[in-house]
Chains A and B, each alone.
Chain A
Amino acid sequence: MLTEFGRVFIFFIIGAIFVAGGLVTAWLVRPQRWYPNKLTSYECGEEPIGDSWVRFNIRFYVVALIFLVFDVEVVFLFPWAVVYQKLGMYAFVEMLIFLAVLLVGYAYVWGKGDLDWDKPEPQIPSVKGKEVTKPQYAEEVTG
């Protein structure tokens, strides 16, 4: 007896055969003429400066953390949604409390500014410490 996930597994295998077949064919027919300059990473024709595996903006990490909290909550909501019509009022009140707790956290995160993404501050050009053409520039930005 073939279970439903067995069928999914067969689907996976046939898909894998297709992808592997394509990759092997390409490996057989494509040319391979490498030389050092070809293997540098792309940086608009310049020599790449330094490594790109560097420390990165912390905001992405914060977003991932908030996502984790919310995603776990969504997972809890799925079984609740399936049996909702059978449980009725009880389920609704339960979920109101559950969501209320979560919304407090959401309001806190929002208020703290973790959901605000950086807007780039316009860099005003300066010569010898004196800002140049500030009036026109400010006008352009605000107007």
Chain B
Amino acid sequence: MEILISLIKIVIVLFVLLTSVAYIVLLERRVAAAIQNRIGPNRVGWQGLLQPLADVVKLVMKEDIVPRQANKFIHDLAPIISIGVALATFAVIPFGNRIALFGHDIKLQIADVNIGILYILALTSLGVYGVTLSGWSSNSKYSLLGGMRSSAQMISYELAMGLSLIGVIMIAGSLRLDTIVEAQVAWRWNILLQPIGFITFVVSSFAETNRLPFDLPEAEPELVGGYHTEYSGLKFGLFFLAEYANMVTASAIITTVYLGGWQVPFVHSLGLSDVSVSIIQVLGFCFKVGMLIMFFIIIRWTLPRFRYDQLMNIGWKVMLPLAIANLLATGLVILLKWV
């Protein structure tokens, strides 16, 4: 029974995640079009709503080309690593409190791992492999440059990411994501307690997901397609899917850690039944994640790209000292019991 409930939860979460990823691609194209004063895809289905489906069919039907000089095994493996890591992070995100349905007390989280944050950071580190290996194995100059850049970029920003999370852990006193969410009752959201940590974390998230203004690994004007220059068909599709899944995961992590997760302020004072409160909390979580994704998209289409030396300077000389200073300041504030 327990396994069955887990299975149902996993299937629902994966389904929602993948469907939303497909529609975020459409959303991004429509928003980009609106920002650039174009119309965007609106032909397939009503307002282009079937476009993601058509894209998937197209990608599946395309020939898979592996360059003669490439390392075939690693070339095949790299997109699987990318998508695997992007999806697996979602296993520990709490997207709601408990809900009582059909006589079962169901926890709205797939796995309540007691080292949630460590698990997320570990998987983010693994994400570097997908990009780096794809860049190396293609044996193409553009891919290699993209892969090299991206590995250096991702490891640089990973430090700031880990360090800015430590402030939150100190406040919550736990690595469990559920405990961190529960500590943010009402308006005690971590974004208010940790504003600098929030900024460094969001900036590092942009760098980790290779989104503009940090999309140097695939900078189209100089590197063609960056690390996925030599990919075609569904393997390219998997990289694409992984990029957007990473964006959803990053938004979900930011929501969980800094924006109160599934906490909706004052929902308990409305006097609703427990089930409806749980549902409102899940919707609140989805709303926060959606707003962050919109933020990601708007940033992408309004900011220019950094130069590589600027990127490294921001990572090592601004983000890292800022995160360490934030860590020490948090320590001092907790010690003097100001909060």
Contacts and interface: CB of A to CB of B under 8 A. Distances in A.
B195 to A, nearest CB: 18
B331 A74 contact: no
B83 A19 contact: yes
B113 A4 contact: yes
A57 to B, nearest CB: 8
Interface residues on B, range: 35 or more
B25 interface: no
Interface residues on A, range: 35 or more
Contacts of B215: none
Q: Is the interface of A mostly helix, strand, loop or mixed?
A: helix
B158 interface: yes
A131 interface: no
A29 B151 contact: no
B91 A43 contact: no
Contacts of A95: 331
Contacts of A38: 65
Given A26-B233, A41-B140, A51-B69, A11 B111 contact: yes
B6 interface: yes
Interface in B128-172: 136, 138-144, 148, 151-152, 155-156, 158-159, 162-163, 166-167, 169-170
Interface in A81-125: 81-86, 88-89, 92, 95-96, 99, 103, 106, 110, 115-119
B53 interface: no
Contact of A41 (B60, B118, B138): B138
Q: Is the interface of B mostly helix, strand, loop or mixed?
A: helix
Contacts of A66: 316
Interface string A10-25: 1110111011001101
Given A15-B84, A30-B63, A39 B312 contact: no
Nearest to A57: B148
Interface in B20-69: 59-69
Contact of A78 (B118, B136, B324, B332): B118
Contacts of B144: 52-53, 56
Given A74-B163, A117-B308, A81 B170 contact: yes
B12 to A, nearest CB: 11
Contacts of A63: 152, 155-156, 312
B309 interface: yes
Contacts of A51: 69, 139
A10 B313 contact: no
Contacts of A57: 148
A56 B135 CA distance: 13
Given A40-B68, A115-B313, 13 more contacts: A11-B90, A29-B61, A32-B63, A33-B63, A41-B70, A41-B138, A41-B143, A42-B142, A53-B136, A70-B159, A77-B327, A81-B167, A118-B309
20 contacts: A2-B2, A7-B91, A8-B110, A10-B6, A11-B88, A12-B91, A15-B88, A19-B84, A27-B64, A31-B61, A38-B65, A41-B140, A52-B143, A63-B156, A77-B162, A77-B166, A78-B118, A85-B173, A85-B334, A116-B309
